[in-house]
Amino acid sequence: MTEVLLLVVPVTLLAVVVRRMQVSAPVSLVLAGLLTSFVPGVPDYHLDPHLVLFLFIPPMVYSEACESSFLSFRVNARPIALLSVGLVLFTMALVALVAHTVVPGMSWPVAFVLGALLGPTDVVAAVSVARRLGLPRRLVRIMVAESLFNDSTGLTAYRITVAIVAGGGFSLLDGIRDFVLTCSGGLVLGLLIAWPVRRLQCWLGDAVAHTAVSLLVPFVTYALAEYLHASGVLAVLAAGLYLGHHSNRASHAARLQEQASWKLIVFLLESVVFALIGLQLRPVVRALDDTPLWSLLWYAAAVSLTVMLGRFLWVFPATYLPRWISPRLRARDPSPPWQLPAALSWAGIRGVVSLAAAFALPDDMPHRELVLFLTFSVTLSTLFVQGLGFPAFVRRLGLAGRGGEHDDHLAEAKAQEEAARHAQHRLEELVAGEHQHCPQHVVLRLREVAEYRRVAAWERLRDGGRPGTHSPAAAYQLLRREMLTAEREAFIAMRDQGRLDDEVVRQVVHQLDFEEAALSRDLHL
């Protein structure tokens, strides 16, 4: 228990600081873990693969899936499949070829195990930077989808190659069949679980109960899928996509509470898991005392360069070759500028999935310690080279700030105007019918609110979405926020004076918080 607190408390504080400084949190936490691992007296933290694959991966995948777009996945199915399946298998074969060539005595089956470990990506660092720099939305969505889907490909390939090393008698046909059944079973199971969960959440109605059920979904789904020998990652992904797609039908309180809860959980889990990656260096290096240091560095450099350059070798042909072959595809989806596949090629960071699977290798597998070291080395090199260099690389390509903000504001303004018309039409129906005796000043106020919401989006479009503008909508938001602050302070003063009960203050402040949350979104656009 003491070791857990010694890990979680400083890691959380460091994550808060780097988040405040807008520094890459994954890279900073890994570096802190690396330095800490060599401090005398620091205990060895062993990365339990089963704990990581159950406790860390499902909630992080589920949270990202809930925030992702099912419709976007369907539109971008071709590039996502080429990356999450084609690129993983290509990387596995390329790494196996290089490892078998440069490492003396490494057999082909063990080399393919190493390739399967290094196939899937973990783009947490790259995606966070991509969103902050304003990369094109489609590129970010493809990066996220790749990292979500390729875990199942890599873990399935890993399972097959480990069985071959252990003498399980797997054939290529068996491997393909196992891959198809595992993936399809995971997707179907995830949807079968998500449908009754959505019905249950709608029936509950309570925000706290809604969030409690949501917190259970990824763990139950993953555990059931793995028990049935299906892909737990894909099952969680399918459940998250389905529930996220239908989340707008839940109450506003449930949505706000669920989103806030998942953001906190994922923040803590990501912080701990990246720090754990750094803390693994000392025990990994200690297990290879008999191998010369220069040999280890040569093996690590060769495999790391293969992983990084292999991504470029796949992404560019996969981007342009299908369009060159198919005129229909070229007409429907024109070729993007070369900067986009270049940025996608750079975002090939490896992470916790690769390490967790490596630690789960059988103890008697040949070259186990070396495979673990190479997986750790590639994870570190991609985090530091590609993770730290991603912002500069994106700026060098001229992609920063080209995320389509103007298109977003235009689409929002059009949608807001149409929605306002529907709202006004419904208001007039109610006033003319069952609510015809409603006070006139209330009706006028509601008409003003609808008009304000219609006009505000067009004003943001005109002002370019810059903060601090003084359009009527922006002025209303800023002034109303100050008024809410004054109201809140007045309620607190009355509580301190003994004129209001704490329970009453909490209720009224909670209402003010909801209104300010709605205003804060517009203020930061």
pTM over 0.95: no
* Look-up of token digits 């290798």: 361
In the chain, the amino acid numbered 203 is W
Question: Residue 21 in 3-state DSSP?
Answer: coil
What digits encode the pLDDT tens for the residues 27-77?
777 778 877 877 777 776 666 777 777 888 889 889 888 887 777 778 888
Instruction: Classify residue 364 by its DSSP letter.
Output: T
- Please give the Cα distance from 10 to 32 (Å, whole number): 10
- Please give the Cα distance from 165 to 337 (Å, whole number): 43
What digits encode the pLDDT tens for the residues 98-149?
999 999 989 998 999 999 999 988 766 566 666 677 778 788 888 888 888 8
In the chain, the amino acid numbered 188 is V
Judge contact between 420 and 454, C-beta under 8 A: yes
- Please give the Cα distance from 55 to 52 (Å, whole number): 5
The residues, ordered by sequence, that sit 6+ positions from 314 with a Cβ below 8 Å of its Cβ are 86, 87, 90, 91
For residue 203 the two structure tokens come to 């029936």
The residues, ordered by sequence, that sit 6+ positions from 399 with a Cβ below 8 Å of its Cβ are 133, 135, 136, 339, 340, 343
For residues 193, 55, 225, 65, the Cα torsion angle rounded to the nearest 10 degrees is: 50
- Please give the Cα distance from 332 to 313 (Å, whole number): 25
Could you give the maximum distance between any two Cα atoms of the chain, in Å?
89
In the prediction, which pLDDT does 65 show? Answer: 86
CA dihedral sign, ordered 449, 454, 460, 463: negative
In the prediction, which pLDDT does 523 show? Answer: 43
In the prediction, which pLDDT does 449 show? Answer: 75
Q: Identify the segments of the chain with pLDDT beneath 70.
A: 1-6, 22-24, 44-47, 123-131, 168-172, 175, 400-413, 453, 456-474, 519-525
Neighbouring C-beta atoms of residue 3, cutoff 10 Å: 11
